[in-house]
């Protein structure tokens, strides 16, 4: 029996190539474009549910969720003879915007892509799949699902330079058996070539780099629009608390940042810590930025049995090269100690654990353990 599968189509080359691959594999594919902020409220023209509004094609550019992206996705679906639905999830997406604002205003560094995958892409995608009687869901992420005696396992994509498993750590483990990642076994150039051979003009479309609801990268302006943020200006201080200068708002900075500080020194200085209560942005040297470990909470696991202590590779941000570490957990809180100090440990970001290529799970960083402080206690 032919399996029905719902594919999240963003209008980009990866999800478009995924559609080609799924069709070749014999799936009954249904395409779904998930819009984050349209204004139209017409009933869905596909006859599924009047509670699922279609998008407007008049909306302005919003990263990977724009009207032009929806048009690209529809053209791909038409070319491949795939039923296509474009639905507005504006209300659900408001939760992600609120999270983003809350984290920045608390002095942390949010990761909206992880939250979007947890709350929207895989949550709402599966809800839609159930409505249309689908057996599985698919996306264009560079990751893979392996099956074996331990059940489905989430592993890194073959193209390590494009691997996106890090941003998938928070999806529900019980969904793994229902997920397909068609492009996970391919390199990016192979995917572009495949899309080109299929006659899809998105084969040369650039990858989306921005946060879809902040396409101009102006986080401060977004916070002003979304929350009406008042004055968050304060002082740059060193790690001893001495004032080094002033800044226009702490939400403009993130841990590890060097450029765009607006002040100059005789040696490179980095953002080491952000204090939302005092509005201080703490600057230090590369040595001050080094962390021997971190604490994390709100864990999510992709393995059935989680040891109280284990060795792994820990990844602290999307582009970070995972580092050898020892993890010790107590209930939903854990400590991570690196074999070698790591730089740019940012509260609010995810820390994700790997056993070689297999993703074990992860959590959200509460705080770093500065290497200098640990060394002083030894």
Q: For residue 227, tell me if it sits in a domain.
A: no
Q: Are residues 185 and 308 in the same domain?
A: no
Euclidean distance between CA atoms 17 and 198, whole angstroms: 9
User: DSSP character for 271?
Assistant: E
Euclidean distance between CA atoms 53 and 93, whole angstroms: 14
Q: What are phi and psi of 67, to 5 degrees?
A: -65, -35
Q: For residue 9, tell me if it sits in a domain.
A: yes
The alpha carbon of residue 338 and the mean position of all alpha carbons in its chain are separated, in whole angstroms, by: 23
What is the DSSP code string of 293-355?
Answer: EEEEEEEEESSS---SEEEEEEE-STTPPPEEEEEEEETTEEEEEEEEEEE---TTSEEEEEE
The alpha carbon of residue 272 and the mean position of all alpha carbons in its chain are separated, in whole angstroms, by: 23
- Select from 184, 204, 224 the last residue of a domain: 204
Please pick, among 64, 65, 113, 116, the residue that the annotation labels catalytic. Answer: 116
**Strand pairing report for 4-8 and 136-138:** parallel
Alpha helix ranges (H) inside 81-184: 90-105, 112-115, 122-131
Beta partners for 281? 236, 274
Name every residue whose Cβ is closer than 8 Å to that of residue 176 and which is 6 or more positions away in sequence.
145, 151, 152, 153, 154, 302
Euclidean distance between CA atoms 286 and 289, whole angstroms: 5
The per-residue pLDDT for range 24-50, each reduced to its tens digit, is 999 999 999 988 653 333 323 333 332
Q: For residue 220, tell me if it sits in a domain.
A: no
Q: How confident is the model at residue 65 (pLDDT cuts 50, 70, 90)?
A: low
- Select from 204, 221, 256 the last residue of a domain: 204
Please pick, among 65, 113, 212, 291, the residue that the annotation labels catalytic. Answer: 212
Average pLDDT of the residues of the chain: 88
With a threshold of 0.95, does the pTM exceed it? Answer: no
Q: How confident is the model at residue 373 (pLDDT cuts 50, 70, 90)?
A: low
| pLDDT reported for residue 120 | 84
For residue 275, give both structure tokens.
């204090």
Euclidean distance between CA atoms 302 and 150, whole angstroms: 11
Reply yes or no on whether the pLDDT at 9 is more than 60.
yes
| pLDDT reported for residue 218 | 81
Q: Are residues 280 and 137 in the same domain?
A: no
The reply to whether 44 belongs to the active site is no
The reply to whether 212 belongs to the active site is yes
- Select from 269, 284, 299 the last residue of a domain: 284
Structural domain harbouring 196: 4-204
């Amino acid at each position: 029996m032919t399996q029905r599968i719902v594919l999240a189509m963003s209008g980009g080359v990866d999800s478009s190539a995924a559609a080609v691959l799924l069709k070749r594999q014999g799936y009954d594919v249904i395409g779904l474009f998930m819009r984050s902020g349209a204004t139209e409220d017409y009933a869905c023209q596909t006859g599924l549910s009047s509670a699922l509004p279609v998008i407007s094609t008049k909306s302005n550019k919003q990263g990977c969720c724009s009207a032009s992206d929806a048009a690209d996705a529809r053209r791909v679906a038409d070319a491949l003879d795939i039923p296509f639905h474009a639905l507005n999830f504006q209300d659900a997406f408001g939760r992600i915007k609120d999270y983003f604002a809350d984290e920045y205003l608390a002095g942390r560094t949010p990761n909206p892509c992880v939250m979007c995958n947890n709350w929207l892409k895989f949550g709402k995608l599966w809800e839609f799949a159930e409505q249309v009687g689908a057996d599985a869901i698919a996306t264009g992420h560079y990751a893979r699902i392996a099956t074996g005696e331990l059940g489905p396992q989430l592993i890194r994509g073959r193209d390590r330079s494009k691997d996106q498993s890090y941003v998938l750590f928070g999806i529900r483990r019980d969904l793994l058996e229902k997920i397909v990642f068609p492009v996970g076994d391919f390199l990016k150039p192979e995917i572009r070539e495949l899309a080109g051979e299929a006659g899809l003009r998105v084969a040369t479309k650039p990858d989306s780099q921005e946060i879809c609801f902040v396409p101009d990268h102006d986080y401060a302006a977004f916070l002003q629009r979304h929350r009406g943020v008042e004055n968050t200006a304060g002082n740059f201080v060193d790690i001893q608390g001495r004032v080094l200068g002033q800044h226009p708002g702490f939400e403009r900075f993130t841990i590890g940042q060097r450029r765009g500080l607006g002040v100059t020194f005789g040696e490179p200085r980095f953002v080491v810590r952000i204090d939302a209560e005092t509005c201080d942005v703490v600057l230090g040297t590369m040595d001050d930025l080094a962390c021997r470990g971190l604490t994390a909470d709100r864990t999510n696991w992709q393995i059935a049995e989680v040891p109280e202590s284990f060795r792994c590779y820990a990844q602290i941000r999307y582009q970070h090269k995972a580092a050898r570490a020892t993890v010790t957990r107590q209930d939903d809180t854990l400590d991570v100690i690196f074999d070698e100090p790591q730089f740019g440990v940012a509260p609010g970001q995810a820390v994700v654990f790997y056993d070689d290529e297999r993703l074990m799970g992860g959590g959200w960083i509460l705080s770093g353990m500065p290497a200098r402080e640990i060394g002083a206690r030894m």
